[in-house]
Amino acid sequence: MVSDIITSTEIAHILVVEDEAIIGRYIQTCLEKSGFDVSGIVSTGTQAIQSAKDTLPDLVLMDIGLRQDLDGIEAASLIQEQLNIPVIYLTAHSDRATIERARATNPFGYITKPFDERTLQTTIEMALHKHRLEKELRESEARYRGIFQENQAPMLVIDPESLQVVNANPQPVSST
């Protein structure tokens, strides 16, 4: 499955959120060498949210230890809630409390600095793949719900083990 992502002709656009300019440029170089497009490099949580809204990247690489307004975890949470863009944390912080706060936002990855280019590339590819699968699942579920709920004929979902009705579609009220 990973090879599907690696050989894909679609270029992923990645927003880098890093408050150290030298590290941000290094990440950009690594990403471009791996075939990704950097849609922007920003240094604050507020800039990250605005840039994500403006450019709609495929993924956000987020430093947790941002020094201004919002930290990376707060910014990532808002980006995920508002825009459904996957976030990978890229940080020097690996203490238990930080990891637990980050975990609560359901990130698509967590890379500890210093990192190597291959780890960065692989983590991004896996996150993009997982995000695509989740999107396909949501779309499939929405189609199923639409068919099930809007069908005029009675439909039941029965648990094959207990033979209990698990779900039934709503029936239109008869005018007879």
Tokens 């980050």 belong to residue: 102
Measured between alpha carbons, how far is 120 from 18 in angstroms, rounded to an integer?
Answer: 15
In the three-class reduction of DSSP (H, G, I as helix; E, B as strand; rest coil), residue 40 is classed as strand
Residue 145's pLDDT is: 78
Q: Which of 49-53, 103-107, 149-153 has the highest mean pLDDT?
A: 49-53
Which domains does the chain show, CATH number per domain? 2-137 (3.40.50.2300)
DSSP symbol at 162: T
Q: Which residues contact 56 (CB under 8 A, 6 or more apart)?
A: 83, 85
For residue range 91-103, what is the model confidence (pLDDT) as tens digits? 887 789 988 999 9
Closest by alpha carbon to 47, among 23, 14, 19, 87? 19
CA 42, chain centre distance (Å)? 18
CA 130, chain centre distance (Å)? 8
Closest by alpha carbon to 27, among 131, 127, 123? 123
pLDDT category at 9 given cuts 50, 70, 90 is: low
DSSP letter for each residue of 78-120? HHHHHH---EEEEES---HHHHHHHHTT--SEEEESS--HHHH
For residue range 14-24, what is the model confidence (pLDDT) as tens digits? 999 999 999 99
Q: Is the pLDDT of residue 135 over 80?
A: yes
Average pLDDT over the chain, rounded to whole?
88
Instruction: Please list the alpha-helical segments (H only) found in the chain.
Output: 2-6, 21-33, 45-55, 72-83, 96-103, 117-150
Two structure tokens written together for 156: 């039941």
Measured between alpha carbons, how far is 145 from 58 in angstroms, rounded to an integer?
Answer: 27
